[in-house]
Amino acid sequence: MNELWIWTTASMAHFYLLHGCLSLLFAIVGGLILKRRYADAHYKIVALLLAMQIAMPIIGYLFGAWIIYYLRNVRYDKRLTHTRYIDMDDFQSEFVQIKRIFGEASISELLNGTNSSSALKTKALASVSDHINQKNINLIKRSLSDSDDEVRLYSFALIDGMERDINDKIHQMLQAFEQTQALERKIDIARDLASLYWDMVYFELSDADLKSYILDQVKYFARFVLKVFPGDVKVNTILGKVYLIEHQYDEAATCFTLVIEQEGDNEYILPYLAEIYFNMRNFRSVKALLATADSMKINAMLHPVLQQWSHA
């Protein structure tokens, strides 16, 4: 009995000695495998693997191998490091630098202000001239009376350049219209000429003395197109606006009605028809017409008008 106890004790001692050495070797190898990925926790991983192998003989080796494989291949969500400070050099390179030229003031206030420098006003005019519309052209025209000579000259150069550009196009188109024999080509040129002459009126680039002549030219080329294509949306829209300027409300209403019949998305025409009915004192039609303009309710300029008429 004593011999069995001695043999068992010796065997257990040899087993745990061998098991401890293998567990330590296993833990060291596993720690080296995971060191690159978990450098900060290297010793903790070795201690964890060693404790696990000693606590679970045989099965611990299989489980430990799976743990090493999992930790080596697992993917974590990316985490920001060094978040207590921002490297401004790297930060600036990540975004496109945007400079504000005109500060908090609007361009209109800047151009009308007496304290703005001529250089800043010139930059504002250059910016405005890149986006030609009626409002921007009016801003440029107002600068013609600026107290600074440089601003006045630059404003005049911009207006003159716009007028020359349209006149040159009109001259080329008129020559092409006279020289072309093909009816289809003539209609395309006439459509462009009606649009160009209308631009002269709309942007107020023509002299007051020439306005009547230019409107006649718009009507001439528009009617040339409508003889062949009476439902042309673009030409009817332009001609309707000309009739509206000349207070020929019946003819204008006819043009705008044709546009509505020809085009599905036609709510942009409704304010013109509403203006015609208003000038003809047909207020009931104005209210009924504006009630159908659903998309106009989000228009900042027309929304107050629609609200007023909805309660009329």
Please give the residue that has the higher pLDDT: either 13 or 172. Answer: 172
Instruction: Yes or no: say if 277 and 249 are a contact pair by the CB < 8 Å rule.
Output: no
pLDDT at 131: 77
Question: Around Cβ 236, how many Cβ atoms within 10 Å?
Answer: 26
Q: How confident is the model at residue 48 (pLDDT cuts 50, 70, 90)?
A: confident
- Taking the alpha carbons at both ends of the chain, their separation in whole angstroms is 116
CA dihedral 214, 219, 221, 222 (to 10 degrees): 130
Please give the residue that has the higher pLDDT: either 120 or 185. Answer: 185
Q: Where are the domains of the chain?
A: 2-73, 180-263
Q: How confident is the model at residue 226 (pLDDT cuts 50, 70, 90)?
A: very high
Lowest mean pLDDT: which of 81-90, 172-181, 249-258, 284-293? Answer: 81-90
Instruction: Yes or no: say if 111 and 142 are a contact pair by the CB < 8 Å rule.
Output: yes
For the chain, give the mean pLDDT. 79
The structural architecture, per CATH, of the domain 180-263 is: Alpha Horseshoe (1.25)
Q: Does the pLDDT at position 146 exceed 60? A: yes
CA distance 221 to 167: 16
Instruction: Yes or no: say if 46 and 31 are a contact pair by the CB < 8 Å rule.
Output: yes
Q: How confident is the model at residue 22 (pLDDT cuts 50, 70, 90)?
A: confident
Please give the residue that has the higher pLDDT: either 189 or 120. Answer: 189
Per cent of the chain over pLDDT 90 is 24
What are the backbone dihedrals phi and psi of residue 126, each rounded to the nearest 5 degrees, phi first? -65, -40
What global pTM score does this model have? 0.61
pLDDT at 3: 63
pLDDT at 55: 67
Residue 291: exposure state from Cβ atoms within 10 A (0-12, 13-18, ≥19): exposed
HSE-CB for 175 with a 13 A CA cutoff: 5
CA distance 18 to 140: 95
pLDDT tens digits for 263-277? 766 778 888 888 898
Lowest mean pLDDT: which of 51-65, 138-152, 282-296? Answer: 51-65
Please give the residue that has the higher pLDDT: either 12 or 250. Answer: 250
Instruction: Yes or no: say if 64 and 51 are a contact pair by the CB < 8 Å rule.
Output: no
- Per DSSP, 19 falls in state H
